[in-house]
Structure 1
């Protein structure tokens, strides 16, 4: 998303040496904001915003829009594309002195190489690390607080398998509470149909998201590069995912019927539900995301009924 739509980037100013108090730092921010307004009125800066950098208490963040192409200033080249293409993790993490070298570097060369290490570490910390990506998505207006919470929940759930967590895989198997007494590798019972479906939905939504980014980039390209985007069929395929599988709540789609149903049962006055014409019409911004990804998804596949409302499974034959 950031490599395609990340039009805003930032630069930092370190004020740690000034040892400002909280009040003094707030006053400095206000001072810099007023100065920016004057510079913008005079047309002497491309900076569009200045504020405290949220990931460090003693740094100012200057936000810019760019990188702009000289021959077409309306078309912006995302800074994250540059950072992704130029990032060299080996330069950041691997010190030459710990590995085989044909010859020892002199002091001047070591100083230059250390500069490369520092630059790559800065690039990773502020632009490519997980927290930095979330921050850049936010300043570009791609995510808000609610979407950030969904990212954190999905990231944590999937991270249990990327970084093996005890019993995480067991929870996705049939008869997950069954333990055998003999030594074996792996579990005797297969993954459940629910977990297989969930994995398929993750793949579907992720691929649709990637295709959406590609289509949007092509459609917004200058005419001299792409005169006809030719994306209608692709758009039709992309839209099928959220339309055909609305019962999986990912990042940018509306809450499924089950989550609306559960929210109205536990948190909404029945009179309000009636005024909306049923729980399906609850304001989507009010429905909180359920952090328990697998268990909530599993429950949503079964029909449910209360004295007030009934919920129908999205899958044929599921009761």
Structure 2
């Protein structure tokens, strides 16, 4: 996939007009691809924990990239914490009714009013993305601008705590303080992890089960990015042996399951990135992209959930092992008879297992159950 992505650049045929957004998003992806390549190098050197930590960064960037490519909706917030819960519910209903009237009259660009899920008594006014003055059908996602303009140092660091070449006059200082407040608002509601999930929901790019899977993978990978007791140790063979001697990590290698897991994360994340960039170019106006040339790119990305279906990531279907364990623990004899085989259990019945690593180790072993039958591992 990485090789095809690099080769893809020579295949794209640009239209009559150069639209910078497409170049910018490829540039964004180039550095994510670099991180993916670094993960592969780490896995080859048996530095699995470090590869998983970088995969957490890739996952967060993937969520942002989805919004930069397909996030056509954005929202504005209205703080109504001055109201009681009862008053807020009444006010929300009133605003929704008022919006319906305005929409019928064609006097508003707002598409929805709803309760903001991540703050009490805040209204969320939803709008379509920013449209080009020259092309009303071409929408630029607001995350594209927020990401480019956001500076973490502006949000977090107070200028008076650090060296400056000269002292700013009071009016300039007030403007800079305003920039800091604005940056904090953008981060809180658009770029933080929680905000990304909210924006993905607003844009209907994920549903609640997908968010549960994102949360589980994000939390698991976060163990290798933030201090977490024994997270890296548990990936090793003989993880319960403590030598007490200085070493680079441990003298024992990572388990085969840990190495496969790290590779699966890279594979699925790269596949997701390529799917987004391919979709973006395929849906581009012909005047911007005359020929996206994404056939081979898409073929390789699509093969990932087909070849490695035993790993349940964000958007692929439940693996056979998850269906097997569901049927063993929850399906009735009547249901098993009706389905004929545990593989035919309905997808919407299968609940994601949050214990990512242990679950994969179990899925790589053979199992037998008197009611459900036999499960054969996809890899030895």
With normalisation by structure 1, the TM-score equals 0.96
Using the TM superposition, give the Cα deviation of residue 106 of structure 1 relative to its aligned residue in structure 2, in angstroms: 1.3
Deviation readout 1:131-166 (Å, 9 max, x if unpaired): 000000111111111011111110110000011211
Partner deviation per Cα, 1:81-127 (whole Å, 9 max, x = no partner): 11011101111111111111111111101100001001100000000
Tell me, which stretches of 5 or more residues in structure 2 are unaligned? 1-65
The separation in 2 between residues aligned to 1:147 and 1:69, in whole angstroms, is 32
- Of 29, 43, 47, 2:92 maps to 29
> For 2:290, what is the secondary structure of its paired residue?
coil
In structure 2, the partner of 1:306 is 369
What does 1:145-294 align with in structure 2 at a 5 Å threshold?
145-294=208-357
**Aligned equivalents of 2:194, 2:359: Cα separation in 1:** 26
Q: What's the counterpart of residue 86 of structure 1?
A: 149
Aligned match for 2:78, one of 5, 10, 13: 13
Distance 2:254 2:245 in 1: 20
Contact 2:85 2:121 in 1 (8 A): no
SS at match of 1:63: strand
1:45 Cα shift?
A: 0.5
**Separation in 2 of the partners of 1:221 and 1:181?**
59
What's 1:100 paired with?
163
Matched, 1:4 2:69: yes
Q: TM-score, normalised by structure 2?
A: 0.81
What number of residue pairs does the alignment pair up?
314
Distance between the aligned counterparts of 2:343 and 2:138, measured in 1? Answer: 41
More moved, 253-262 vs 66-75:
66-75
RMSD: 1.0
Which SS does the other structure have where 1:161 is aligned?
A: coil
* CA–CA separation in structure 2 for the residues paired with 1:23 and 1:181: 61
Instruction: State the shift of 1:185 in Å.
Output: 4.6
Displacement of 1:184:
4.1
2:339 and 2:96 mapped to 1: Cα distance?
A: 44
Any residues of structure 2 matched to 1:96-135 within 5 Å, and which? 96-135=159-198
Q: Does the 8 Å CA contact 2:233/2:239 hold for their aligned counterparts?
A: yes
Q: Distance in 1 between matches of 2:233 and 2:267?
A: 24
Cα separation, 2, equivalents of 1:56 and 1:45 = 25
What SS does structure 2 have at the residue aligned with 1:252?
Answer: coil
Answering whether residue 135 of structure 2 is matched by residue 72 of structure 1, we say yes
Deviations 1:216-275 (A, max 9, x none): 000000010112221111111111111111001100000110000000110111221221
Q: Secondary structure at the match of 1:64?
A: strand
Tell me: higher relative CO, structure 1 or 2? Use CA pairs within 8 A at least 6 residues apart. Answer: 2
SS in 1 for 2:224: helix
Task: Tell me, in whole angstroms, the C-alpha distance in 2 between the residues paired with 1:111 and 1:214.
Answer: 40
Aligned to 1:142: 205
Q: Please identify, of 180-189 and 281-290, the stretch whose mean Cα deviation from structure 2 is larger.
A: 180-189
1:54 corresponding residue in structure 2: 117
State the 1:51 CA deviation.
1.4
Look up the SS of the partner of 2:147 in the other structure. Answer: helix
Q: Secondary structure, in 3 states, of the residue corresponding to 1:151?
A: helix
Name the SS of the counterpart of 1:162 in structure 2. Answer: coil
Misfit runs of 4+, over 4 Å: none
